[in-house]
Chains A and B, each alone.
Chain A
Amino acid sequence: METIFSGITQGLQLFLSGDPELWKIIGVSAQVSGAALLISAIFGIPLGALLGLSRFPGRRMIQAFIYTGMGLPPVVVGLAVYLALSNNGLLGPLQQTWIPKLFTVEAMIAAQVVIATPLVIGYTMSAVGEVSPNLRLQVRSLGATRMQVLGVTLREARRGVLVALIGGLGSIISEVGAVQMVGGNIDGSTRVMTTAIMLETRRGNFELAIGLGIILLGIAFIINLSAAQLQGKGH
């Protein structure tokens, strides 16, 4: 118990004192998860809207893939991205500048995009599906083009879309498996909060681990509180 209390106290002190190591780790976490969420949103929101509103052969099959993707274990994603980016993998040997290298922030972003995108697509699909078909018909009747109908539907489903983004962020900010595998937890470059907590705990450096843990919990709490409030407003 003493270790825990002392860890919490020292962790808070570390956080409040602006410890450079701690803040560097927080910065990398924000950079990786922020960029991954942005990319997931750019692809996931329009795709989710199209899948939610269109009817075409094979749609159910695609939906089943998306739902499966929503539950992908991060370590499996990490393994897949690792194998794809390694020198003997699918993309690694191509040596293209747009293909991220292993053990870089870009590789970590790629892994987190794979985790977050199905969640953003799936939640967006469900959110636009809840917008009344009568409203879409009415909007068309008022002279909207197909793109305008899509835009209005997304705007009407805005709370659900925000929940999709929050769900996506929640899933990547707290995952450890994928970023550990493709980032390598390199001090000062690819170390993020979750991998640092794991490492510092192993080292017995509980103050830093607890400090990071508190921040991560705080972020997770804010994310979930926002989601709950947005869903509440929807009803």
Chain B
Amino acid sequence: MAPIYELSRVTRLYGSRRVVNIEALEIHPGEILAVVGPSGAGKSTLLRLLNFLEAPDGGIVRFHQQAMDYFHVPLQIQRSVTTVFQNPALLTASVVANLQFGLRLRGLKDGRKEVSQILDQLGLTHLKQAPADTLSGGEAQRVALARALVLNPEVLLLDEPTANLDPYNVELIESVIRELNSSHQVTMVLVTHNVFQARRLADRVALMLNGEIIEIADTQTFFEKPQDGRTHAFTRGEMVW
């Protein structure tokens, strides 16, 4: 099956600093690709490139084999990808209004059934009418995930979705990610510091350092037979840069 994304010699500069420098990367339909690496490796910037929120300074990003012009991304393509960020940025509104937000952007008034289902799936039904600014960190992150899921995206990008959360919320969010991937074949790119989480969830894992992908392999190979010494060190919890 043809890849959803094909990145070729993609670079992104912040000033003179090259924060992303990817020679080649393919992301396949229905897979969960985990991108691991230390802070400042360029993982979050990569997600913004994949969500068409930032334009690369060089190279080509193909989405469904179509080379993307980042200044004229078709709305239909823009809306087939969504991100759940590390810090859930919720609207000053109720939980249910946050979930309906993306549907309303698309002119879909009736999403009551889907909203209820997802609220239930993420254990948020009792908080349906609660103002978003009264939620705990874990609840807010679950709302952010629910808000993305209700849109039924083709690609879901997850930027440290469980950072700083308690084990209950981590387990809940991970189980929803697994369920969504297996039942709807949603393609996911998961950025995480947590190698254990990458191992639990991902089909493939990539190590990113200084904007470059050092190694990418299926999860078992990545953890058990890494080719690069830095991957080996990172998976053992050692400092790499």
Interface residues, chain A, with chain B CB atoms under 8 Å away? 132, 134-135, 137-145, 148, 152, 155-156
Contacts and interface: CB of A to CB of B under 8 A. Distances in A.
B4 to A, nearest CB: 17
A131 to B, nearest CB: 10
Contacts of B78: 143
B151 A145 contact: no
B75 A143 contact: yes
B75 A141 contact: no
Given A135-B89, A156-B91, A141 B53 contact: yes
B102 interface: yes
A145 to B, nearest CB: 7
B79 interface: yes
**Main secondary structure on B side of the interface with A:** mixed
Contacts of A135: 89-91
Interface magnitude class on chain B: 20 to 34
Given A142-B82, A142-B147, A142-B148, A148 B89 contact: no
Interface of B: 48, 51, 53, 75, 78-79, 81-83, 85, 87, 89-92, 101-102, 105-106, 144, 147-148, 151, 157
A134 B89 CA distance: 6
8 contacts: A134-B87, A134-B89, A141-B51, A141-B53, A141-B82, A142-B151, A143-B102, A143-B106
A144 B89 contact: no
B85, B92, B102, B151 interface centre (most CB from chain A within 10 Å): B92
A143 B89 contact: no
B91 A152 contact: yes
A142 B101 CA distance: 9
